[in-house]
A = this chain, B = another copy of it.
Amino acid sequence: MSIAEFSLIERYFTRQVVGNDSTKLSIGDDCALLSLPEGYELAVTTDTMVENVHFFADANPELLGHKLLAVNLSDLASMGAKPVSVLLALTLPTVDEIWLAAFSKGFLSLAELHLVDLIGGDTTSGPLTLTVQAMGLVPKGKALLRSSAKPGDFIYLTGSLGDAGLGLKIKQGYSCSNPEAALQRFNKPNPQINAGMALLDIANACIDISDGLTADLGHILERSHVGACLDWDKLPLADAVVDYINDTGDWAMPLVAGDDYELCFTVSPEKASRLTINCTQIGVIESTLGLRLYKSGNLQPLNSKGYEHFS
């Protein structure tokens, strides 16, 4: 890539100035500079998306830009952090202005929605690989961890489950009468930032559903050294997902499908009345290790790690 091409790329990403209070110096120097308000810690995360692994060459670039940022913001949401800044490392095989305009539009629209500043990055020539580092503020000592679930905690989910999984099935050829909502969830996930922040001081443990409920809840169980009992019949399922299950018999799909980017969190019974967000109780944390799943009152056979049963 020539210097002129690099300048061209920068043009698509430097127009954005949200100017939140944390940004002291943005793009243009060796580093960006961030300031933290007193009493806050910085939550930091990174996620990479690779062509032909996470998306295909013909993926809609605007949706890709949205999703790349969304998956990173979702990690911040799961800690209860308020996103403030992101860095974008772009490795591009060619300079395609149409692609760049659409990609940056998807990326920056979501950034602006959440008042997130793009404060730096790096552009290199090579196979299409997209890495974001996202940073957010969380009150000191208050971050929602995977490791803080306690026996007796209720297990909750924001929103509904399996929509993105159904969206993927539809993209793979499954036909249904009302595909729009499911496709939208798969194509354009919505990081649950406000929900995460509303759970501070209420939830014990929290994680975002990127790899599927049983896999991600499994991370909470493992890190918290606890087990759980889930009630399949309590799962919040959209009508289209219920129709899909009735149609195919694939009742495990909402448990194992990823990309929903809802939050799964645990709350002690005493604090449950303080929940103000839209969520559904789907189970209970128990001291006995392992994941137990009930469906129509019957215990479903799972192996010791629970989620591996489905993979």
> Considering the chains assembled together, what is the distance between the CA atoms of A53 and B1 in angstroms?
10
Q: Are A25 and B85 in contact (CB under 8 A)?
A: no
Q: Are B79 and A124 in contact (CB under 8 A)?
A: no
Q: Are B85 and A48 in contact (CB under 8 A)?
A: no
Nearest CB in chain B: distance from A195 CB, A: 14
> Considering the chains assembled together, what is the distance between the CA atoms of A126 and B54 in angstroms?
10
Which chain B residues border A32 with CB–CB below 8 Å? 43-45
> Is the CB of A119 closer than 8 A to any CB of chain B?
yes
Q: Are B129 and A91 in contact (CB under 8 A)?
A: yes
Nearest CB in chain B: distance from A37 CB, A: 10
Which chain B residues border A8 with CB–CB below 8 Å? none
> Is the CB of A138 closer than 8 A to any CB of chain B?
yes
> Which of A56-64, A142-150, A153-161 contacts the other chain?
A142-150
Count chain B CB atoms within 10 A of each CB in A44, A48, A81 and give the residue with the most: A44
Q: Are A47 and B119 in contact (CB under 8 A)?
A: no
Q: Are A81 and B143 in contact (CB under 8 A)?
A: no
> Considering the chains assembled together, what is the distance between the CA atoms of A78 and B25 in angstroms?
14
Q: Are B91 and A48 in contact (CB under 8 A)?
A: yes
Which chain B residues border A120 with CB–CB below 8 Å? 44-46
Question: Which one, B42, B53, B79, B125, contacts A126 given CB within 8 A?
Answer: B53
Count chain B CB atoms within 10 A of each CB in A36, A119, A131 and give the residue with the most: A131
Nearest CB in chain B: distance from A115 CB, A: 18
> Considering the chains assembled together, what is the distance between the CA atoms of A209 and B220 in angstroms?
45
> Considering the chains assembled together, what is the distance between the CA atoms of A36 and B135 in angstroms?
14
> Is the CB of A248 closer than 8 A to any CB of chain B?
no
User: Which residue of chain B is the closest to A51 with respect to CB atoms?
Assistant: B126
Q: Are B125 and A127 in contact (CB under 8 A)?
A: no
> Considering the chains assembled together, what is the distance between the CA atoms of A121 and B72 in angstroms?
12
Count chain B CB atoms within 10 A of each CB in A38, A41, A51, A208 and give the residue with the most: A41
Which chain B residues border A38 with CB–CB below 8 Å? 38
* Chain A positions 6 through 46: 1 when the CB is less than 8 Å from some CB of chain B, otherwise 0: 00000000000000000011001111111110100111111
Question: Which one, B50, B91, B119, contacts A124 given CB within 8 A?
Answer: B50
Nearest CB in chain B: distance from A14 CB, A: 14
Which chain B residues border A241 with CB–CB below 8 Å? none
Which chain B residues border A135 with CB–CB below 8 Å? 44
User: Which residue of chain B is the closest to A119 with respect to CB atoms?
Assistant: B44
Q: Are A75 and B31 in contact (CB under 8 A)?
A: yes
- Complex A-B, nearest 6 residue pairs according to Cβ-Cβ distance, in ascending order: A50-B126, A127-B127, A31-B43, A133-B133, A31-B45, A30-B75
A/B interface sample: 30 pairs, CB < 8 A: A24-B41, A25-B143, A30-B75, A30-B208, A31-B44, A31-B45, A31-B75, A31-B136, A32-B45, A34-B44, A35-B42, A35-B140, A44-B120, A44-B135, A46-B131, A47-B122, A48-B91, A48-B124, A50-B91, A50-B126, A50-B129, A51-B126, A53-B124, A53-B125, A53-B126, A54-B124, A87-B133, A89-B89, A126-B127, A129-B129
